[in-house]
Structure 1
Amino acid sequence: MFDILMYLFENLVHSESEFRVDQDELTEELIRAGFHHDEIYKALAWLEKLAALQDSDINPYLSSANSHAVARVFTAEEEVRLDVECRGFLMFLEQINVLDACTREMVIDRVMEIDANDFCLEDLKWVVLMVLFNVPGKENAYAQMEDLLFEEPEGPLH
């Protein structure tokens, strides 16, 4: 499923193609690309839920009570999916104002819905990018995250 999300993001969204395509047409394109029906439907449902998170009537993370949260305690299931490196990266993104409490919760929500056995920091970075792309008003955070994702380190790493 995550491979399909990556394919869609890289080939449709990131290439600035028209993202609002017919679902049947999109499904056929994904089948031609070698993906299976079940995984395609899971990925499309994941994207629909991401889009639904923009609606403040549906999204519990958009309430003003949650927007000023100071600390985040992860559940046991979240700790299994998000290792220490991933959780530290989320904290880092909050500290540099790429994520706020609301978008952090949206990212965690979407991570927990990914049907994958292994999940790593690179996967998390892509989920953050997908979430920020879909949240109006987060263009600067998206650009900053894109820079973090694609920048090549200069010089020797110590």
Structure 2
Amino acid sequence: MYDILVYLFENYYTPQACPRADVLASKLAAVGFEHDDIHDALAWLRTLASTTEHCLPLAITPTTQPRASRIYTDHEYAALGTEAIGFISFLEHTDNLPPALREILIETAQAADHSPLSLAEIKVLALMVLWSQEAEIDHLVFEELLADDEGRPSH
């Protein structure tokens, strides 16, 4: 699934450039991705779209409000793991992940097929959340998101 998400990022400049799900599935299969991985990636993208729609009112909030601390539940810690939560905090504190996108990332990361997530996996998901919103990303943070620390996850 993660290889497919990276493939989408590398091959489609914006989310709007992606074809419809059925056409995309055919294109991904033609490139050589496995059916199960395609299914998982498209399901995750649907979750991302749904979560984004529900969190959209948060994105309208002015960014001049003071930063609030995010308290993670035991369930979120179990699903995400401390490494992923640490990376989310890093993105947030470097002003690359506004609160609305943080919540979208947390929700969609919990939809992953296993837990806890590795650092490489949370980086891919964060990249996709930022890409889906066409968010501006600091160059150094962008390089960190693309860094292949542990080898690209293949789930």
- TM more than 0.5: yes
Which structure 1 segments of 5+ residues have no match? Answer: 153-158
SS at match of 2:78: helix
Which residue identity is paired with 2:7?
A: Y
Q: 2:125 aligns with which of 124, 127, 149?
A: 127
Aligned residues: 145
Which structure 2 segments of 5+ residues have no match? Answer: 149-155
1:47 — aligned with what?
45
Cα distance in 2 for residues equivalent to 1:103 and 1:50 = 11
How far apart are residue 43 of structure 1 and its match? 1.8
2:72 — aligned with what?
74
Q: Deviations over 1:116-148 (max 9, x none)?
A: 355211111111111111114x22x26453122
Which residue identity is paired with 2:4?
A: I
Note if 1:20 corresponds to 2:24: no
Q: 2:145 aligns with which of 127, 146, 149?
A: 149
Identity %: 31
1:62 — aligned with what?
59
Aligned ranges for residues 77-96 of structure 1 at < 5 Å?
77-96=75-94
SS at match of 1:131: helix
Normalized per residue, which structure has more helix? 2
The CA RMSD over aligned residues, in Å, is 3.2
Structure 2-normalised TM-score?
0.72
Structure 1-normalised TM-score?
0.71
Cα distance in 2 for residues equivalent to 1:118 and 1:9 = 23
2:2 — aligned with what?
2
Cα distance in 2 for residues equivalent to 1:29 and 1:142 = 31
Q: Deviations over 1:17-49 (max 9, x none)?
A: 98332433221222231311x442332232133
Cα distance in 1 for residues equivalent to 2:108 and 2:86 = 17
Q: 2:97 aligns with which of 73, 80, 99?
A: 99
How far apart are residue 77 of structure 1 and its match? 2.3
1:115 — aligned with what?
113
Q: Deviations over 1:94-136 (max 9, x none)?
A: 1111112111111111111122355211111111111111114
Bigger radius of gyration among the two: 1
Cα distance in 2 for residues equivalent to 1:79 and 1:146 = 25
1:155 — aligned with what?
none
CA contact (8 A) 2:2 2:124 kept: no
